[in-house]
């Protein structure tokens, strides 16, 4: 499925322009009120941003995330989920590349813009107005999950279980150092190598910690530290190949290496007696 070079360690998610908050409210009434209030404030903020998304004062880049555009070239289209899709910049791009895309966001204006643009472009897109608490991620449902500039730590269990074996996450977001230059939502920022640790049981195909202009909350061409990740969920059922003298052999294949008989297993070549 993947042709992406795994040499340099990079979600998407890079997820789209939107944001989502608060998966699980506290059973205590006070905390529940705080959570609802926080969601209401975030929804109001997103509404203001997407209502002015075409103005020169826009706080985000409406074009698809460059990292997502780069890594998707090596992926076979399948089912993709865009978490916090905003006005659909990433979801629409994927749909145009043949992906079956579902996205959700807290902003009704962003969702309306995504649906309108999908109709204009003639692409199929399921765009839902949801919080992350309301959205059903499903089980082993997605070939790709895009996470761009969203808070997803509290979603990790659902991200892992909803991704198909062999599926990938594509992520781009802030490094914590960005807060030294401007106020940011720190829940969307990650420290040194934190993404690698969070996805430690995944295969890290690419990771970047680089100076770049972030897609969100940018000023001109100003650059800050941005972190990016492309990681693949393990697939225990994937075919195994062993190699001998430049040739590939399937699992359980046997070869002679001098006098030794070897058999290909999921952990590599194993000794199986002697060759006659």
Sign of CA dihedral 145, 41, 118, 124: positive
Whole-angstrom Cα distance, residue 152 to residue 147? 8
Residue 127 φ then ψ, to 5°: -115, 120
Sign of CA dihedral 47, 117, 140, 2: negative
Mean pLDDT of 32-37: 54
Burial tier of 80 (Cβ tally within 10 Å: 0-12, 13-18, 19+): buried
Please state, in angstroms and as integers, the Cα–Cα distance from residue 268 to each residue in 109, 240, 249, 262, following that order.
53, 9, 11, 10
Mean pLDDT of 70-97: 96
Mean pLDDT of 108-119: 95
Nearest to 143 by CA among 158, 123, 165: 165
Identify the pLDDT of residue 223.
Answer: 84
Mean pLDDT of 24-40: 52
H helical segments located in the chain:
29-51, 66-71, 89-96, 108-121, 156-162, 194-198
Identify the pLDDT of residue 73.
Answer: 94
Tokens of 198: 């969070």
Identify the pLDDT of residue 181.
Answer: 75
- Sorted by sequence, the CB contacts under 8 Å of residue 24 that are 6+ apart come out as 133, 154
Between β-strands 79-83 and 125-129, what pairing exists: parallel, antiparallel or unpaired? unpaired
Whole-angstrom Cα distance, residue 3 to residue 232? 12
Measured CA angle at 84 (ends 83, 87), to 5 deg: 120
Cβ pair 111, 127 in contact under 8 A: yes
pLDDT tens across 46-80, in order?
Answer: 667 666 755 444 566 789 999 999 999 989 999 99
pLDDT tens across 146-200, in order?
Answer: 999 999 999 999 999 999 999 999 999 999 988 887 777 788 899 999 999 999 9
pLDDT interval class at 81 (50, 70, 90):
very high
Identify the pLDDT of residue 232.
Answer: 98
């Amino acid at each position: 499925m993947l042709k992406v070079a795994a040499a340099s360690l990079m979600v998407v998610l890079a997820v789209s322009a939107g944001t989502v908050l608060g998966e699980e409210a506290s059973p205590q009434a006070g905390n529940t009120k705080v959570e609802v209030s926080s969601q209401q404030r975030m929804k109001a903020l997103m509404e203001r941003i997407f209502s002015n998304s075409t103005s020169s004062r826009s706080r985000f880049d409406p074009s698809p995330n460059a990292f997502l555009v780069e890594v998707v070239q090596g992926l076979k289209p399948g089912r993709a989920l865009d978490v916090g899709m905003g006005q659909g910049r990433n979801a629409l791009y994927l749909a145009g590349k043949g992906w079956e895309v579902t996205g959700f966001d807290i902003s009704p204006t962003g969702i309306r813009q995504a649906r309108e643009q999908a109709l204009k472009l003639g692409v199929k897109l399921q765009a839902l107005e949801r919080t992350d608490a309301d959205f059903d991620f499903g089980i082993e449902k997605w070939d790709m999950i895009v996470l761009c500039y969203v808070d997803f730590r509290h979603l990790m269990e659902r991200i892992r279980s909803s991704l198909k074996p062999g599926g990938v996450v594509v992520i781009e977001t802030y490094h914590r150092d960005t807060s030294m230059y401007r106020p940011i939502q720190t829940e969307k920022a990650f420290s040194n190598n934190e993404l690698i640790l969070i996805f430690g049981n995944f295969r890290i195909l690419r990771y970047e910690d680089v100076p770049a202009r972030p897609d969100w909350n940018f000023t001109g061409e100003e650059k800050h530290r941005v972190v990016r990740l492309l990681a693949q969920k393990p697939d225990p059922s994937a075919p195994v190949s062993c190699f001998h003298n430049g040739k590939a052999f399937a699992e359980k294949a046997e070869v002679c290496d001098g006098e030794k008989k070897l058999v290909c297993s999921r952990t590599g070549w194993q000794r199986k007696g002697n060759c006659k």
